[in-house]
Amino acid sequence: MVERDQTKKDIKELARNDKYSILLPTYNEIENLPIIVWLIVKYMDESELDYEIIVIDDGSPDGTLDMAKQLQNVYGENKIVLRPREKKLGLGTAYMHGIKHATGNFIVIMDADLSHHPKFIPKMIEQQRYLDLDIVSGTRYAQGGGVYGWDFKRKLISRGANFLTQLLLRPGASDLTGSFRLYKKDVLEKLTQSCVSKGYVFQMEMIVRARQFKYTIGEVPITFVDRVYGESKLGGSEIFQFVKGLLYLFATT
C-alpha cells in the first residue's frame, strides 16, 4: 500500500504539466454515458490527474446529448465538454473533431459502451510517463488481459483474425482492432490525417502508420467486458470489412 501511494505520487509529479483529453464518441449511449463518465471521474480524481471528457455525440435519437448536459451541470463545464455533431459521420472524423477542441496535450480514446474500463487509463498514463511513449495501446491479447461475454466462436474469430494480422503486417503491437488507447496529441493529429480507413480497420491503420512513422508504442493489458447495455456487433459484413482492410494494408504498407 505504501508502495502504491509512492507510485501515485511519482506519477502525479511526472504528469503535473500534463492534461488528458478523453474523447468519447457516442451514438445511442444514454444508459452507458453516465456510468462511464462517473467511472472516469472516479479514477482520474483518485490519481489526481488533470483531465477533461469530450463527448462527441452524433445526433443520437435516444437523448444521449441531454444526458451529457445533465452530467455537465453536475461535474462542470471544464470537466465535461460537449461537441455534438448533426449526424453519424464515422470514427476518424469524430477523433479529428475531438482533437480540434481538446485542450490537453494527451488524448485518450475509448468506447463509451463500458467495454473499456477507465481504471486502465492511469496505468496507460504511468507507462507513457516512465517510457515517454508516443502511443500506449490497451491489449486484450497479452498476459493479464482478456475478454468477458464472448462465446467460443467469437473468441476463435478474434484469435484467428489477430494471428493473420500479426503474420501479414508484423505491426509491433498485439491488439490492432482495439480502440482503447492513449496518444500524444500531435501524434494522434498526424495519424488521423494520414489514415483513410473507416470503422475498426481505422484502428488497425493507426498502429500500422504509427510504425511507419517510427512512433514508439507501449501496451497495457486490458479486460474487455462486452456490452452490458445494447447490442454487440460482429456479423459477416464486419468480417468482410476486416479482411478487405487487412489486405489493403498488406498491399500498401
Partner 1 sequence: MTKLMEWLLFAVLFFSIWIALISENVNLHFIKEWKQFVLFLPPVVLFVCGLYAATVVLYRTFTFNNCEQAAIELQEQIEEAKKDLQTKGIVLKCK
Binding site for partner 1 (CB under 8 A): 30-31, 34-35, 38-39, 62-63, 67, 70-71, 74, 114, 117, 141, 144-150, 152, 155-156, 158-160, 163, 167-170, 223-225, 228, 249-253
- The SS3 call for residue 143 is coil
Q: Least distance to partner 1 from the beta carbon of 250, Å?
A: 5
- Residue closer to partner 1 by CB (options 96, 225) is 225
Identify which of 118, 124, 125 has the alpha carbon closest to the alpha carbon of residue 39: 118
Q: Least distance to partner 1 from the beta carbon of 163, Å?
A: 5
Q: From CA 238, how far away is CA 25, in angstroms rounded? A: 19
- Residue closer to partner 1 by CB (options 1, 251) is 251
Buried b (16+ CB within 10 A) or exposed e, 55-89: bbbbebeeebbebbeebbeeeeeebbbbbbeeeee
Q: Least distance to partner 1 from the beta carbon of 101, Å?
A: 24
Q: Least distance to partner 1 from the beta carbon of 105, Å?
A: 29
- Residue closer to partner 1 by CB (options 60, 192) is 60
CA 113 to chain centre: 11
Identify which of 223, 222, 147, 232 has the alpha carbon closest to the alpha carbon of residue 182: 222
- Residue closer to partner 1 by CB (options 128, 158) is 158
Whether 29 contacts 35, CB under 8 Å:
no
- Residue closer to partner 1 by CB (options 39, 96) is 39
Q: Least distance to partner 1 from the beta carbon of 176, Å?
A: 14
CA 189 to chain centre: 15
